[in-house]
Amino acid sequence: VTAPSPAAPGRWLPEPEAYRLLATYDLPVIAHRLATSPDEAAATAQELGFPVALKIVSPDIIHKSEVGGVVLNVPTPSEAAAAYTAILNRLTPAASRLTIHGVLVARMAPPGTEVILGMLRDPQFGPAVMAGLGGVFVELYQDVAFRLPPLTPPEARAMLLGLKAAPLLTGYRGQPPRDLDALARCASGVARIAAEHPEIQEMDLNPVLAYERGCMIVDAKILVR
């Protein structure tokens, strides 16, 4: 879990770096800050507003929750400080072998429809953008769509509407429709990033939470070579 995969040469950007890149393309990223001490975690949480999530930031850890590196729904400054300490303690003794940048404190986003947006660079095809609906639809039914950049927002919209689970976005069983235009701009932004950053091999924005108005990226993995 903590070793870089031999199948994917390159390095995963630390989450704050990934967010920074996404933000420069005007993609909506959850409010966050890196904390390097329990006190800083408490103060940052206070600033961002509760509840918050805390996540370990280490280039050596890809699956953060599997090593106990994630604590969600933290309601107070003191609990934020305690969560910081708890996360680092859980990594001991492995922590001595790992590069740890600190702990990301991020505002908890309100619940929304989970969407996954991704990109991968194929040696023959070049970059391809992927979209799917989160959770069971992607994992069990592999209900995803691919497009090769360039990808305009209208094309991205059509891509999302082509998913089998698209009714979950357009208003299923009386649910309000989700902001397809915001999601489409996001997917289109992923295509632009792919085109302008040939060093990026893979991206996984998972999940992107879709709301009636807007959407929010709450986790991002970016592999660079």
In angstroms, the CA 28 to CA 216 distance is 5
Least spacing, CB of residue 161 vs another protein, in Å: 8
In angstroms, the CA 156 to CA 152 distance is 6
DSSP state of 94: G
- Judged by beta carbon, residue 4 or residue 214, the one nearer another protein is 4
- Judged by beta carbon, residue 39 or residue 122, the one nearer another protein is 122
Least spacing, CB of residue 150 vs another protein, in Å: 10
The SS3 assignment for 88 reads: helix
Least spacing, CB of residue 193 vs another protein, in Å: 13
Least spacing, CB of residue 12 vs another protein, in Å: 8
Least spacing, CB of residue 1 vs another protein, in Å: 10
- Angle of helix 180-196 relative to helix 15-24, nearest 10 degrees, comes to 100
Interface residue list for another protein (CB under 8 A)? 5, 7-8, 12, 62-63, 116, 118-120, 122, 124-125, 128, 130, 132, 138-139, 142, 144-148, 154-155, 158-159, 162, 202-204, 206, 221, 223
3-state SS, one letter per residue, for 123-189? CCCEEEEEEEECCHHHHCCCCEEEECCCCCHHHHHHHHHCCCCCHHHHCCCCCCCCCHHHHHHHHHH
- Judged by beta carbon, residue 45 or residue 200, the one nearer another protein is 200
- Judged by beta carbon, residue 38 or residue 132, the one nearer another protein is 132
- Judged by beta carbon, residue 125 or residue 172, the one nearer another protein is 125
Which amino acid, 12? W
